[in-house]
């Protein structure tokens, strides 16, 4: 049995994969307490861009769906580049941004709250991988996921192994 997706279905599959990836990042952040650094947060931006692009591409006529898929491939190649940079910073191959720390905390009401918050705040460095699996940090896994999504979108845009309809 051969699974042949239309370009529209391929665009929706990219949207679902992007949403699942962001969902996974949010589970690591809010469920397991891994506070993202500045580069981690920047790596999410291509996913946030890709989801509406993919949805719009799925609703357009086939010619424009193909253009949208090429745009998704470009977005995820950019995402892979961001992941390579961050992984390189973690491994010490590149210098990271000088202001690389965690996201902003909640606003404080008074000086006592502020001092208490300072005591409990841990600055997250972009140079330290908070978690690794099979030797890859989350930035490294982002490279692989992004390259897979870029290849999938490009293959769909070329019509290779995919139906040519919407």
Angle (CA) 133 79 164, round 5°? 110
In CATH, 7-158 is 1.20.1550: yes
Structure tokens that stand for 68 in this block: 């949208």
Domain boundaries, the chain: 7-158
Q: What is the pLDDT at residue 140? A: 81
Q: What is the pLDDT at residue 143? A: 92
Q: What is the pLDDT at residue 66? A: 92
Q: What is the pLDDT at residue 129? A: 64
User: What is the reported pTM?
Assistant: 0.76
| Average pLDDT value for the chain | 80
- Determine the Cα–Cα distance for residues 124 and 75; give it in Å rounded to an integer: 26
Q: List, for residues 23-55, the tens digit of each pLDDT value.
A: 998 888 888 777 888 888 889 999 999 999 999
Q: Report the percentage of the chain scoring pLDDT > 70.
A: 73
53-67, 125-139, 151-165: the lowest-pLDDT one: 125-139
- Determine the Cα–Cα distance for residues 133 and 22; give it in Å rounded to an integer: 18
- Determine the Cα–Cα distance for residues 18 and 54; give it in Å rounded to an integer: 10
The yes-or-no verdict on residue 133 having pLDDT over 50 is: yes
């Amino acid at each position: 049995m051969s699974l042949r997706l239309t370009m529209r279905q391929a665009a929706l599959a990219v949207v679902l994969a992007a949403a699942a990836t962001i969902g996974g990042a949010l589970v690591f952040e809010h469920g397991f307490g891994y506070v993202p650094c500045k580069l981690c947060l920047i790596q999410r931006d291509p996913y946030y861009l890709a989801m509406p692009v993919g949805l719009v591409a799925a609703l357009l006529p086939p010619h424009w769906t193909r253009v949208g898929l090429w745009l998704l491939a470009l977005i995820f190649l950019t995402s892979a580049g961001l992941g390579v940079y961050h992984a390189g910073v973690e491994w010490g191959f590149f210098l990271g941004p000088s202001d690389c720390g965690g996201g902003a905390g909640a606003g404080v009401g008074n000086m006592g709250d502020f001092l208490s918050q300072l005591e409990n705040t841990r600055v997250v460095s972009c140079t330290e991988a908070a978690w690794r699996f099979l030797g890859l940090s989350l930035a490294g896994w982002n490279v692989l996921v992004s390259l897979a999504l870029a290849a999938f979108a490009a293959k769909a845009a070329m019509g290779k192994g995919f139906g040519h309809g919407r």
